[in-house]
Amino acid sequence: MITSFIVATAVPDSRSTAEAVGFVLVALGSMALVLGAARMSSVVEVDPVRGVSLGFRLGIPVWRRAISRDEISEVADGTLSMAGAGGLGLRWIGPGRWALLVRGGSVVVIKVPDGPKEYLVGTDRPAELMAALRELGQG
């Protein structure tokens, strides 16, 4: 509410109501984009029964992929820079390769033979995620 007031009072003198409305819509859309980026997160859930659930959020869920435990052929650790991924977020980085990257650095690579596909998941705790994924494969 306060944000809308601030934006509405910042409208420059314009020649038409349509221009003023356009300015407000662009300003509100820009703020929504910035707030969404500030709340960007990737979510990885490892469940012994269901397998792995990958998710990407911008405050609200944007993308989700479920991978059953039988689909995972290999897990590995690695690194991926923001430049190497082409930026942050959910990124297509080549045929059959997707990255969930909130910051550059350590990633866990989940390989799925159907495709073939690779999911590179950025994480601050790669050892814990690798251990959970390997345990899932042994179960």
The answer to the question of residue 127 being in a domain is yes
pLDDT at 5 over 90: no
Q: Which of 42, 34, 48, 82 is nearest to 62 (CA)?
A: 42
The answer to the question of residue 58 being in a domain is no
**What tokens does 60 get?**
């609200």
Q: What's the structural domain count of the chain?
A: 2
For 52-68, what is the mean pLDDT? 91
The answer to the question of residue 45 being in a domain is no
Which run of H or E residues covers position 94?
strand 89-94
Q: List the domain range (segments joined by +) for residue 30.
A: 2-38
The answer to the question of residue 98 being in a domain is yes
Instruction: Report pLDDT for 58.
Output: 85
Pairing of strands 89-94, 97-101: antiparallel
Higher pLDDT, 11 or 127: 127
89-101, pLDDT tens digit by residue? 899 999 999 999 9
Q: Is 88 found in the same domain as 33? A: no
CB 86 within 8 A of CB 73: no
Q: Which of 106, 113, 104 is nearest to 129 (CA)?
A: 106
The answer to the question of residue 124 being in a domain is yes
Q: Is 79 found in the same domain as 20? A: no
Percent of the chain with pLDDT over 90: 46
The answer to the question of residue 34 being in a domain is yes
What value does the mean pLDDT of the chain take? 84
Peptide bond into 116 cis (omega under 30): yes
Q: Is 76 found in the same domain as 34? A: no
Nearest 10 degrees: Cα torsion 137, 42, 88, 82:
-40
